[in-house]
Amino acid sequence: MFLRLLGVIIVALSLSRVLAGTKLNGVNIAGFDFGCETDGHCYHKGVTPPLLTSNGRKMDINRFQFYADGPGQMQHFVKKHGMNVFRLPVAWQFLVNYKVGGPLHTKNFGLYDDLVQACLKTGSYCMIDIHNYGRYDGEIVGQGGPTNQQFASLWWQLGSKYRKQKKVMMGLMNEPHDLDMDKWTTTVQKAVIAIRKAGATSQLILLPGTKYTSAKDFHKNCAPNLSKVKDLDGSVNKLIFDVHKYYDDGKGHCRTDLIDDVYRPLVKYLRKHHRKAFISETGGGSGYSKCIPSVCRGLKYIHQNADVFLGITGWSAGAFSSKTYDLTLTPDGSAKHGWKDQKILTQCFVPMWKTTTPRRPHKRVAELDAAIEEEDEILAPRDAIADPDPSPTLMLRLRTSMRSKIWSSQPDGPTGRARQLKEGKSNET
């Protein structure tokens, strides 16, 4: 009887890792990327730091015109919704003070690092995102513009800065487009090597493709090339495909066919080749209320296929207006007076994550979950699966009885905190 009960408990605990959709869920905190255009030009006058203070002091009003409380938003999203990842876009030019190939600028990088540290302080995963569209001032990286060595130098410096931070994720480049994928694959490979040689060996690295790294046809024109990119040891477990997809066309119309036309072929490819993807930008527009049902359906499908989708970060909160930007996820209010979330966040992003059950646990959960080191708290232990394919009846019963335990097992839940304290990591940033 005891052994039978123990077996059920083990299955329940393992399922609690997957019943609630993808492992990582959050939003973008934009602002350091403001002023960037799709041709890779990024203008300083557009930068809007999502910070109210830096080093304990109010932001310099003579340097930046506008600000936003990014740290306050992140704390709100974590405490109220259990979010555990934030993508932090930034312009390449801003980090090096507009000197391509140069060192990280002490003051500019210091400001950006304030946002990264605020993110880490919440216990979340924090994704660095170079928001340059595969370019620098109109020229393609490694294809007539900045050299691969200059791009690798940027990432070597960032890798060196965050080599001890396991929860920093490396988003190599936002939405490359109109480039040669063979040459781009070489560029990506050199950046991966630079990060690892800088000592950042445990972090996840996100690999973007061309066509704005769109999920549509990613399996055809991007994944085969990016699959050639390897870690120093020849592995690919920590190299995650970076994909984007939106549900509106910017003209008030909504896409309703994204599941069959976009996501299903990608899921099939990822499962066949034992790879994972991260949806680092998606949305439908809080200004387009009629898109909300399409967004909800799409997010539900992604969470149902959490064996191949590692996470989602919606676009976008941070320095965007909570009232006038169509794709805004920025909450109204303030840390002092309270926050009010956007309708699309409360109706789609949060509930789809918390209530969606994956269609089936993959029979090789351990193998697929090797995207992060096996000791990492957000993945099930390799030996925790007592029954890799439990019956639907058992899954339904466990889903009902274990609902309260699902969230406690997250890094910010009671179980996660207890483990951090046990391992002496409660103060790690």
Active site residues: 175, 281
Residues 6+ apart with CB under 8 A from 198: 155, 156, 157, 158, 159, 160, 163
CA distances from 69 to 30, 73, 302, 319, 328 (A): 11, 6, 30, 8, 15
Query: Residue ranges of the alpha helices (H) in 222-342?
Result: 223-226, 258, 264-273, 292-304
Q: Which residues, including other chains, have CB under 8 Å from residue 56's CB and lie 6 or more apart? A: none
Instruction: Report the C-alpha gap between 113 and 95 in whole angstroms.
Output: 10
Using CA atoms, how far apart are residues 349 and 28, in angstroms rounded to an integer?
13
> If DSSP codes are grouped into helix, strand and coil, which group holds residue 270?
helix
DSSP string, 201-219: -SS-EEEE-SGGGBSTTHH
Residue 316 preceded by cis peptide, ω within 30: yes
